[in-house]
Amino acid sequence: MARRFREITAGIECDLGGDLTEAQKHLIARAATLACWCEERETELAKGEEFDATQYSTIANALRRLLSDLGLERRARDVTPDLRDYINAKAQADG
C-alpha cells in the first residue's frame, strides 16, 4: 500500500510539472490516499466481497474534486535554461 501511495503521489507530481506549493503537496497526499482507498475497494469488488457503492461513490467524488482542484491537465516542466546561466556555464566549461 505504501508503495502504491508513493507511485500515485509521484505520478501526480510529475503531471503537475514538479515545482509544487506546499498546498499542492497536501492535496496530492489526500488524493493519493483516496485513490489507494478506491483501489482497495475495487479489488474487494473483483473478489466478490461486500461493496458499499454509496461509500465508494462519495470517496470517488471527493477524489475527483481534489484532482480537479489540482488541475487535470498535464503541465510541461520548463527545461529551457536561462540564457545567462547557459552562457556562464558554457564559459566555465571552456575554461
- The model's pLDDT over 18-52, given as tens digits with 9 standing for 90+, comes to 888 999 999 999 999 999 999 999 999 999 999 99
86 — phi, psi (to 5°)?
A: -65, -45
CB 60 within 8 A of CB 32: no
SS3 50: coil
Tell me the CA end-to-end span of the chain in Å, nearest whole number: 51
Q: What is the pLDDT of residues 51-87, one digit of tens each?
A: 999 999 999 999 999 999 998 766 655 556 677 777 8
- Round to whole Å and give the CA distance between 9 and 58: 21
Give which of 70, 64, 76 is closest to 28, Cα–Cα: 70
